[in-house]
Chains A and B, each alone.
Chain A
Amino acid sequence: MRIDRQIDRMDIAELKAELETLHSASFGWALNCCRRDRAEAEEVLQMVYLKILEGKACFRGEASLKTWLFAVIRKTAIGEHRKNILRKLRWSDGSEATRTLVSPLEQPGAAFEKSETQALFQSAMKSLPRRQREALHLVFYQDLSLSEAAEVMGISIGSARQHYDRGKKRLREYLGQTESAYGISWRGKENPGAV
Chain B
Amino acid sequence: MVHLPRHPWASGRLGFGALGLVYAALVVACVWTLLAEGDLSVGRAPLANLAKTLGEFAYPSFLDVWFGNPRLEYTSDDGTVLRVENRQQVEADYLAGLARATWTTVRIATLGSLLGAVLALPLAVLTARNLAAPRALAIAAKAVLDTLRSIHTLVFGLVLVGIVGLGPTAGILAIGLHSMGTYGKLFAEAIESLDMAAIHAVQGVGASRTQVFFNAVWPTVLPQFVSAHLYIWEFNIRDSTILGIIGAGGLGLLISEATSLFQWDRLATVLLVVVLLVASFDAMSRRIRKALA
Answer yes or no: do A and B interact. Answer: no
- Could you list which residues of chain A lie within 8 angstroms of chain B, going by C-beta atoms? none
- Could you list which residues of chain B lie within 8 angstroms of chain A, going by C-beta atoms? none
